[in-house]
């Protein structure tokens, strides 16, 4: 009987395990992941006949294994063929690496997020909604139709809460040029508005727009009060990104400063700020910068007040009508002692 020393008996299995891991596991899988088509197509010529030859053995092994599982009370029914969960799909996309272009990868990830984002997160707030007030002077209404940059305008009386419907400039301008547009003609061209609950997910609202063949809706809360306006373009921008050449153009009334900070209007939405400035303000809770500041301060701050908002330095510049009108935001996160401890841990 052959004898072996402790060193030889230990290095034999260990060395064989390392060889199997390197040359039969890690290296082939890495090579196949880098060049999937170059490896898979030639390998199919071997695997296809091998699959037919080994099928009886595989069937027998599966039969015995399933029998043992049934004896242990484990049922396999319904476990096979289950679709991947959203988080599993996200992991697949993130780990795809160079196999999916970065822009396409981002678009697919944004599609997965449509179920988590609501119309309240992306809507235009009611104080920024522009429309036609039928109680205005008719000359003002005509001037408004000629100058407004939007194609679909809400029509109302006195207040946006008394909305009648939406009018399309495509229908209004020909009649206006011919001098045939009056209040009765305008009302005849108004289309019934689509009301959207504020907690509707973007995925569901996209289907609602498709089913109703409309492109704009009015967002209402649980009490029926109008909160804002959402459009099909807003949802598409959540998937493909901003339609402008520079994403920061989506933030209204911003001014870049020499020190790298930005003067931002308090009504700018948190999601737009995060996307344009590549920062990470919390999106769970208030939807605007003003809302985040008021929630953090638990009071209406005075001009000149400075604070750290999710680690980002913010200075209050202007207060108007009990709202933060303008704030100076530094997009570079300030690292606190707590952040350093979390990184070390």
| CATH at residue 212 | 3.10.580.10
CB distance 32 to 44 below 8 Å: no
Q: Which ranges of the chain have pLDDT less than 70?
A: 1-12, 76-83, 97-98, 242-253, 335-345
- The average confidence (pLDDT) of the chain is 82
- In angstroms, the CA 208 to CA 194 distance is 10
Q: What share of the chain is helix, strand, coil (3-state, %, to 5)?
A: 50, 20, 30
The whole-number pLDDT of residue 249 equals 46
Claim to verify: residue 132 and residue 228 sit in the same structural domain: yes
pTM of the model as a whole: 0.63
The whole-number pLDDT of residue 247 equals 44
CB distance 308 to 343 below 8 Å: no
Claim to verify: residue 262 and residue 235 sit in the same structural domain: no
CB distance 115 to 149 below 8 Å: no
322: left (phi over 0), alpha (psi -120 to 50) or beta: left
Residue 28 located in a structural domain: no
In order of 90, 93, 103, 115, 242, the CA distances from 107 in angstroms are 12, 10, 6, 14, 12
Claim to verify: residue 254 and residue 334 sit in the same structural domain: yes
The whole-number pLDDT of residue 1 equals 46
The whole-number pLDDT of residue 78 equals 54
The whole-number pLDDT of residue 226 equals 92
Claim to verify: residue 234 and residue 251 sit in the same structural domain: no
Claim to verify: residue 258 and residue 170 sit in the same structural domain: no
Q: Kindly report the CATH number assigned to the domain that includes residue 282.
A: 3.30.465.10
Q: Please, is 219 exposed, middle or buried when counting C-beta atoms within 10 Å of its C-beta (0-12, 13-18, 19+)?
A: buried
List the structure tokens of 137. 């002077």
Residue 79 located in a structural domain: no
Task: Check residue 201 and report its DSSP letter.
Answer: B
The whole-number pLDDT of residue 333 equals 80
Claim to verify: residue 253 and residue 313 sit in the same structural domain: yes
The whole-number pLDDT of residue 248 equals 45
Claim to verify: residue 231 and residue 273 sit in the same structural domain: no
The whole-number pLDDT of residue 156 equals 92
Claim to verify: residue 175 and residue 260 sit in the same structural domain: no
Give the domain extent around 276.
247-344
The whole-number pLDDT of residue 18 equals 85
Residue 94 located in a structural domain: no
Claim to verify: residue 123 and residue 234 sit in the same structural domain: yes
Claim to verify: residue 158 and residue 234 sit in the same structural domain: yes
Work out the number of other CB atoms within 10 angstroms of the CB of residue 292.
23
């Amino acid at each position: 009987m052959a004898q072996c020393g402790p060193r030889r008996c230990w290095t034999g299995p260990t060395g064989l395990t390392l060889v199997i891991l390197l040359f039969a596991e890690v290296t082939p899988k890495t090579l196949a992941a880098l060049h999937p088509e170059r490896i898979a197509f030639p390998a199919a010529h071997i695997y296809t006949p091998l699959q037919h030859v080994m099928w009886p053995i595989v069937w027998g092994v599966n039969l015995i294994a399933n029998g043992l599982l049934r004896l242990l009370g484990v049922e396999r029914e319904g476990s096979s063929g289950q679709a991947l969960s959203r988080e599993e799909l996200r992991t697949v996309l993130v780990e795809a690496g160079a196999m999916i272009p970065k822009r396409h990868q981002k678009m697919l990830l944004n599609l997965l997020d449509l179920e988590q984002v609501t119309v309240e997160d992306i809507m235009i707030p009611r104080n920024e909604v522009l429309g036609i007030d039928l109680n205005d002077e008719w000359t003002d209404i005509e001037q408004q139709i000629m100058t407004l940059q939007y194609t679909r305008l809400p029509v109302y009386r006195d207040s946006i809460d008394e909305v009648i419907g939406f009018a399309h400039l495509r229908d209004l301008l020909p009649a206006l040029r011919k001098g045939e547009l009056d209040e009765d003609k305008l009302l005849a061209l108004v289309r019934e508005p689509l009301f959207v609950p504020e907690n509707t997910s973007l995925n569901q609202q996209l289907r609602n727009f498709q089913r109703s063949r409309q492109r704009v809706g009015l967002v209402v809360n649980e009490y029926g009060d109008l909160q804002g306006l959402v459009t099909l373009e807003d949802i598409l921008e959540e998937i493909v990104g901003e339609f402008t050449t520079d994403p920061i153009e989506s933030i209204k009334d911003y001014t870049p400063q020499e020190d790298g900070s930005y003067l931002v209007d308090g009504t700018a939405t948190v999601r737009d700020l995060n996307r344009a400035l590549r920062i990470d303000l919390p999106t769970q809770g208030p939807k605007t910068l003003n809302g985040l500041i008021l929630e953090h301060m638990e009071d209406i701050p005075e001009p000149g007040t400075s604070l750290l908002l999710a680690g980002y330095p913010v200075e209050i510049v202007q207060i108007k009508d009990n709202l933060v009108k303008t704030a100076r935001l530094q997009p570079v996160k300030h690292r606190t002692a707590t952040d350093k401890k979390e990184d070390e841990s």
